[in-house]
């Protein structure tokens, strides 16, 4: 059984969006490198046999799947189960497979849950919105970027399941992540902020359904305060979507935010493809200029594009996080999916002796 969230809800939060993608991967045959599914629904290793919106879905093995039918006969997925309950279900062997937030991996392990952790392939970044331009805006972004204590976020919020992020690609993918600094520099942040006059009061938005984003946003507010930067955090609901600050500062009924936290999950381990997908996602939010990359882009080309985006200051990478899955004792041949790969439910089998 797989714990998931309602895939039909329109993906109100990142976990739901990921779950929707994973469920689609069960019924589609192939996935292109940019993450889109090709073929018809039902051509994949499983077929939907029952569906209760928001509650439960059952997928049966596709007998004539071209790569051979899956080992398991069916997969039953419970939807909408809270994280705590998923961990308890794993402890009690009431479920075979569940997604666990990275920050809860250590706790789950301490409780005896068998877990599988990927390489870090999901980026949490701060993205500046709107059309603020000019020197002062650039200074503002620099000051915010330098005051964030990424190490503390990894150690205390993620419980060491993650790593500080300086660039838009992780070290294992691009090989050049170490060229982007991650250290905090509160002193320089203060100096830069002091050059901005009058110093604005900024608002950082985060997804109200995402507890991790809330914790990180609050931590950044504390970091900013230490650097003398006036920054407040604001939860954003699906209905009250935040809009960039308007010229006259008045947009009734709509929250004003200057930046927001964004989760970006890699669609491919290949750096060129992953970066292109990130640019496509960030472009409409932050107005990032596209730097076209070929599929076979060299590390130099990828680095050059990544550097140009980072130099704009519009995106501030914070941390890289892995995907964490809890597994029951009877699951065999579970191979941790790499970036862009789907859950390998067609390849696993259940040991009946456990």
Partner 1 sequence: MRLLPRLFLRRAFIFWLLLAFAAASTKGQSAAQFPPDWTNALGSLADKIAAVTKRGEGLSLEAKNISSLSTADVDGLRQLLVTDLSRRNRRVVTESSADVVLHLTFSESTDGYVWIAQVVGGDEDNIAMVSVAAPNHKTSTKEASLTLHRKLIWEQDAKILDFGIVEESASGGSSMLIVLNTDKLSFYDSQDKSWKLARAIDLQHGRVAQRDVRGRLDLQAGEAELPGAECAGDFRHPETVTCTSITAASDPETPMPPVAIQGRSVEDYAVLAGACGDDSLTLASGAGDWTAPDFIQAYGGTNLSAASPPIQVPGPVLELRRNDGSQSVRVVSRNLKTGEYEASIVSVSCDD
Of residues 279-298, which lie at the interface with partner 1 (CB under 8 A)? Answer: 298
Of 173, 182, 233, 276, the one binding partner 1 (CB under 8 A) is 173
Q: Determine if 52 is a binding residue for partner 1 (CB under 8 A).
A: no
Q: Determine if 178 is a binding residue for partner 1 (CB under 8 A).
A: yes
Quote the least distance from Cβ 68 to partner 1, whole Å. Answer: 3
Quote the least distance from Cβ 332 to partner 1, whole Å. Answer: 5
Q: Determine if 329 is a binding residue for partner 1 (CB under 8 A).
A: no
Among the listed ranges 16-24, 34-42, 98-106, 299-307, the one in contact with partner 1 (CB under 8 A) is: 299-307
Of 172, 196, 235, 350, the one binding partner 1 (CB under 8 A) is 172
Q: Give the 3-state secondary structure of residue 121.
A: coil
User: Could you tell me how far CA 349 lies from the centroid of its own chain?
Assistant: 28
Q: Determine if 42 is a binding residue for partner 1 (CB under 8 A).
A: no
Of 9, 43, 176, 211, the one binding partner 1 (CB under 8 A) is 176
Distance in Å from the first CA to the final CA of the chain: 16
Q: Determine if 105 is a binding residue for partner 1 (CB under 8 A).
A: no
Q: Which two tokens stand for residue 280?
A: 């496509």
Contact 293, 265 (CB under 8 A): no
The beta-carbon contacts of 64-71 under 8 Å, at least 24 apart in sequence, are 65/29, 65/346, 66/29, 67/346, 69/45, 70/45, 70/46, 70/345, 70/346, 70/347, 71/346, 71/347, 71/348, 71/349, 71/350
The whole-angstrom separation of Cα 68 and Cα 62 is 8
Of 180, 303, 320, 343, the one binding partner 1 (CB under 8 A) is 303
Quote the least distance from Cβ 252 to partner 1, whole Å. Answer: 48
Number of residues located near partner 1, criterion CB under 8 A:
30
Q: Which is nearer to partner 1, 97 or 334 (CB)?
A: 334
Q: Determine if 341 is a binding residue for partner 1 (CB under 8 A).
A: no
Of 200, 269, 287, 329, the one binding partner 1 (CB under 8 A) is 269
Q: Give the 3-state secondary structure of residue 307.
A: helix
Size (the chain), residues: 354
Q: Residue 87 — φ and ψ, nearest 5°?
A: -65, -40
CB proximity list for 309: less than 8 A, separation 6 or greater: 168, 279, 288, 291, 315
Consecutive H or E run containing 304: helix 299-312
Among the listed ranges 62-70, 143-151, 235-243, 315-323, the one in contact with partner 1 (CB under 8 A) is: 62-70
Of 152, 179, 209, 285, the one binding partner 1 (CB under 8 A) is 179
Q: Determine if 305 is a binding residue for partner 1 (CB under 8 A).
A: no
Quote the least distance from Cβ 303 to partner 1, whole Å. Answer: 7
Quote the least distance from Cβ 172 to partner 1, whole Å. Answer: 7
Q: Which is nearer to partner 1, 237 or 295 (CB)?
A: 295
Among the listed ranges 153-161, 176-184, 206-214, 250-258, the one in contact with partner 1 (CB under 8 A) is: 176-184
DSSP string computed for 160-226: TSSEE-SSSS-HHHHS-GGGS-----HHHHHHHHHTSSSPP-EEEEEETT-HHHHHHHHHHHHHHHH
Closest CA to 121 of 345, 344, 336: 336
User: Could you tell me how far CA 87 lies from the centroid of its own chain?
Assistant: 21
Q: Which residues bind partner 1 (CB under 8 A)?
A: 63-71, 171-176, 178-179, 269-271, 298-300, 303, 332-335, 346-347
């Amino acid at each position: 059984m797989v714990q998931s969230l309602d895939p039909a809800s329109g993906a109100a939060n990142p976990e739901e969006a990921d779950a929707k993608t994973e469920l689609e991967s069960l019924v589609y045959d192939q996935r292109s490198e940019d993450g889109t599914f090709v073929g018809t629904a039902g051509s994949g290793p499983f077929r939907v046999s029952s569906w209760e919106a928001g509650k439960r879905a059952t997928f049966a093995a596709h007998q004539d799947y071209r790569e051979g039918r899956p080992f398991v006969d069916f997969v039953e997925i419970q939807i909408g189960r809270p994280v705590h309950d998923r961990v308890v279900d794993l402890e009690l062997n009431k479920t075979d497979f569940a997604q666990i937030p990275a920050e809860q991996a250590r706790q789950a392990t301490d409780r005896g849950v068998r877990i599988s952790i990927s390489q870090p392939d999901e980026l949490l970044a701060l993205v500046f919105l709107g059309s603020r331009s000019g020197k002062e805006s650039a200074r503002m972004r620099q000051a915010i970027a330098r005051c964030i204590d990424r190490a503390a976020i990894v150690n205390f919020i993620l419980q060491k399941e993650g790593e500080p992020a300086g660039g838009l690609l992780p070290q294992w993918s691009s090989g050049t992540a170490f060229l982007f600094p991650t250290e905090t520099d509160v002193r320089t942040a203060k100096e830069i902020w002091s050059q901005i006059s009058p110093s604005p009061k900024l608002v950082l938005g985060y997804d109200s359904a995402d507890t991790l984003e809330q914790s990180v946003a609050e931590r950044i507010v504390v970091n900013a305060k230490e650097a003398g930067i006036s920054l407040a955090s604001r939860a954003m609901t699906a209905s009250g979507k935040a809009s960039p600050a308007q010229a006259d500062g008045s947009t009734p009924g709509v929250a004003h935010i200057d930046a927001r936290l964004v989760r970006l999950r890699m669609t491919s381990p290949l750096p060129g493809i992953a970066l292109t997908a990130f640019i496509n996602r960030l472009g409409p939010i932050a107005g990032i200029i596209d730097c076209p990359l070929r599929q076979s882009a060299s590390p130099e080309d990828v680095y050059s594009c990544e550097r140009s985006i980072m130099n704009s200051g519009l995106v501030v990478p914070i941390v890289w996080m892995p995907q964490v899955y809890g597994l029951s004792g009877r699951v065999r041949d579970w191979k941790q999916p790499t970036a862009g790969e789907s859950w390998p439910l067609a390849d696993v089998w259940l040991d009946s002796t456990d």
